[in-house]
Amino acid sequence: MSLEKADALVIRQVDFSESSRVVTFFSREFGKFAALAKGAKRLKGPFDAALDLLSACRVVFIKKSSGTLNLLTEARLIRRFQPQNSGAKGGLTSLYGGYYVAELLSGLTEDFDPAPEVYDLAVSTLSALSSPENLSLPIIIHFEISLLQLIGLLPNLFECSVCGEAVQTGKQFAHWVSQGGVLCGACRRQEFAGVSISSGSIEILRRLTQESADTVCHIEFTKKQAQECHQLAVSAITHALGRRPSTLRYIQI
């Protein structure tokens, strides 16, 4: 048992009792963890508005030995992200984009596995989604690809997984989901069941990994390229999660 401090995003909340909730955080210092927030459901509770979904807060908690719920003792709001405020351009897609960020952090990371660069990516993504000037779709696709890269699940986008032929302009490839790679036309087989992706879209995916959430809006996509990039990311994410992310049904690409 130890008293710990962390900067954390609220990614999930579940009612625990009449007055308490179990809150799941994704923190810079510890990665994901859940803690019991006693009194969090009371109107004038001890944590005020710091525990709203997608809020960033400074928390103090008692870390229990495994098998017992951690106990939240303090939560102070750092910033409340409001993706829904991005107006006509992003609209609801920004809001659901924020929920999607939370769902992927919850599903694709392990408890107490620190990943400060994943925390920073999530914060910059929520921040970019909250800005009225930004289009939400490139930011969402950038998050998918960057998260896959940081957790080591981004497919190899440089060469065919079978013959090693480099990805060249003007050619058609397929995403080989189970092997985490792409296949050239000659190596593609029915049983690998890959979704087609053009070399142009693969090029964009590679560029996305070099960008940050607030610069990604300058990359120009065609609608088809956006769909192909998103499709590749979703296939890899679905494979890792074992199910399709539920928030996706609200996001139109």
- Residue ranges in contact with Zn ion by CB under 5 A: 160, 162-163, 165, 184, 187
Q: How far is the CB of 168 from Zn ion (least distance, A)?
A: 11
Q: How far is the CB of 239 from Zn ion (least distance, A)?
A: 21
Q: How far is the CB of 179 from Zn ion (least distance, A)?
A: 12
Distance CA 35, CA 193 (A): 41
Contacts of 18 (CB under 8 A, 6+ apart): 41
Closest CB to Zn ion among residues 62, 162: 162
Q: How many CB atoms lie within 10 A of CB 56?
A: 23
Q: What are phi and psi of 117, to 5 degrees?
A: -70, -30
Q: How far is the CB of 236 from Zn ion (least distance, A)?
A: 19
Q: How far is the CB of 103 from Zn ion (least distance, A)?
A: 34
Q: Name the token pair of 137.
A: 């779709």
Closest CB to Zn ion among residues 116, 185: 185
Closest CB to Zn ion among residues 36, 184: 184
Closest CB to Zn ion among residues 52, 165: 165
Closest CB to Zn ion among residues 173, 221: 173
